[in-house]
Copies of this chain bind each other. A is one copy, B any other.
Amino acid sequence: MIKKAAASLGLGVCLLLAAALPACRSRSSYEDVARRLLVRGLVDRGAFTVLEKILAAGPRLTGSPQAEAAVAATFELLQTMGFDNVHLEPVQVGRWIRGGPEEARLTSSPGGTIPLDICALGGSIGTPAGGVTAEVLEVRSFEDLRRAGDKAKGKIVFFNRHWDQSIPETFAAYGPMARQRDQGAVEAARAGGLAALVRSASTSLDDFPHTGVMGYDPGTVPVPAAALSPKSADRLSDILTHDPTARVDLRMDCRTEAPVLSSNVVADISGTEKPQEIILLGGHLDSWDLGAGAHDDGAGCSQAVEALRLIRSLDLRPKRTVRAVLFMDEEFGGTGGRAYARSGRRASEKHLAAFESDRGGFLPLGIGLGDSASFPRFKKWEPLLRSVGLFWLRPGGGGVDIGPLAQSGTILGGLVPDSQRYFDVHHGALDVAGAVNPRELELGAVALAALAYVLAQEGV
């Protein structure tokens, strides 16, 4: 009763103010659509169903058979779901292989020999068959390393910058950790080091190493690079304090093979009036190979697909096309996103807005959309997001996959969920289906569906 009364009151106020606020009626009707999307989503939990189908292909390292299995499975799924224009778009991608066992052993006096929990970083070369065995130089930053002069020569360089727990927004704290990981091997080699061991970019203090992409510099000899679990990093640091001559024996079998052909997966709900104008929802289908890639980024893919399903389930007929794109190869640098933006198919299309969901399938808090110039046009849709449980719509958004669309004037956006848990699992063995809550995942799909629908009706 209370709910009904409140709803009537809301409608009454809306009608009374209709003359003064021309947008009131349409906003109210879109909020009604949004609430129906919400109920449908929470009851069906379709995003989690899609996620399970994606994860069934296995860890989807770019260029791997599992990634191709995920392409095939999602292509078939999207056809079965009856979307329009379901197709694959080719992407040539690199192929990095983790290979056989990877291990690091630490020998110190009087500690003896203990194993360290490591994983090769994506793109790293392997070690020679006999491994790399050397003393270790620990640094907390690249500046530390430079100050160390020639002390790194002939050693394994251990980059032990810690996660800055004081930063509330974990993506802000991730930046310096990712740079340590990305550039560690280059900096180590420049200093004369034989390999790089990098503390994992993790919010947890546990035994799981977190991988991620790293790079080499054309002018520097490549050296192997691996991530240490946070606890192994602490252990190594502790032992080095007591025995600076402790040695690590590092063995990794990873390698890069010839590029292979892969695909982005695309599906539409074609617009009834302006089908060539597109609102894009995207995630990336590839993942790292240590876990299942559930949050990163099975979640984003499943939300894009589920948003389309939700729109269709209410028999909404958007005027403009709403598209889901499951991008290939975000993790090794975004060849999928660039191939999509450059494809000849884009010539007859205009992408009005593109949203990326690549921050995990946690409770959605807000959506970033546009920049300071364009955002004022969108601010009015904040109540729509609030009606499905989000807290804000702000300028911001974008991502590796949709970034290349900005050149053609596409407004970029992105879903922003709770970030506190993401880097506990990110790029590691704990990123599995059990870490995803079906209701939280679904709420993200609902928000994307609601906003995509309203932009498909109203334009940008």
A-to-B contact residues, CB < 8 Å:
38-39, 42-43, 45, 165-168, 170, 203, 363, 365, 388-389, 391-392, 418, 420-421, 424, 437, 439-440, 443
Please name 14 pairs of A and B residues whose Cβ atoms are closer than 8 Å in the assembled complex, sorted by A: A38-B168, A42-B165, A43-B165, A43-B166, A168-B443, A203-B439, A363-B418, A365-B391, A418-B418, A420-B437, A420-B439, A420-B443, A421-B439, A421-B440
User: In the complex, given contacts A168-B443, A418-B418, what are 9 additional A-B residue pairs having Cβ atoms less than 8 angstroms apart?
Assistant: A42-B165, A42-B167, A168-B388, A170-B439, A203-B439, A391-B391, A418-B440, A421-B440, A424-B437
Q: How far is the CA of A365 from the CA of B420 in the complex (A)?
A: 13
A423 to B314 CA separation, bound complex (whole angstroms):
28
> Do residues A389 and B168 form an inter-chain contact, with CB atoms below 8 A?
yes
Distance A365 CA – B364 CA, assembled complex (angstroms): 11
The one of B45, B203, B389, B437 that contacts A165, using a Cβ cutoff of 8 Å? B45
For the complex, what is the distance from the CA of A382 to the CA of B195, rounded to whole Å?
51
Tally of this chain's copies: 2
Taken together as a complex, chains A and B put the C-alpha atoms of A203 and B442 apart, in Å, by 14
CB distance from A165 to the nearest CB of B (A): 5
Q: Is the interface of A mostly helix, strand, loop or mixed?
A: loop
Residue on B nearest A40 in the bound complex, by CB:
B166
Please determine whether A42 and B424 come into contact, CB atoms closer than 8 angstroms.
Answer: no
**Residues of the B chain whose Cβ atoms lie less than 8 Å from the Cβ of A420:** 363, 437, 439-440, 443
Write out the residue numbers on chain B whose beta carbons fall within 8 Å of the beta carbon of A424: 437
Closest-CB distance, A170 to chain B (whole angstroms):
8
Q: Whole-angstrom distance from the CB of A420 to the nearest CB of chain B?
A: 4
With the chains together, A437 CA to B421 CA distance in Å?
A: 7
Residues from chain B with a CB closer than 8 A to the CB of A392 are 391
Query: Bound state CA distance, A363 and B440, in angstroms?
Result: 12
| Contact residue among B42, B43, B166, B418 (Cβ-Cβ distance under 8 Å from A42) | B166
- Shortest beta-carbon distance, A302 to chain B, in Å? 16
A440 to B363, CA, bound (A): 12
* CB-defined contacts of A418 to chain B, threshold 8 Å: 363, 418, 440
- Nearest Cβ distance between residue A425 and chain B, in whole angstroms? 11
- Residues of B within 8 Å of A170, CB to CB, are 439
B363-A165 in contact (CB<8A): no
Minimum CB–CB distance from A96 to chain B (whole Å) comes to 31
- Shortest Cβ gap from A303 to chain B (Å): 15
Q: How far is the CB of A299 from chain B (nearest CB, A)?
A: 14
Output the residue of A363, A365, A443 with the most chain B CB within 10 A. A363
Distance, CA A165 to CA B438, complexed state (A): 11
Docked pose: A167 CA to B389 CA in angstroms: 11
Which chain B residue lies CB-closest to A391? B391
How far apart are A445's CB and chain B's nearest CB, in angstroms? 13
A35 to B, closest residue via Cβ: B168
Separation in Å of the A167 CB from the closest CB of chain B?
A: 8
Q: What are the 4 closest A-B residue pairs judged by CB atoms, nearest first?
A: A420-B439, A39-B166, A391-B391, A363-B418
- Given the known interface contacts A363-B418, A418-B418, the answer about A42 and B168 at a Cβ–Cβ threshold of 8 Å is yes
A442 to chain B, nearest CB (A): 9
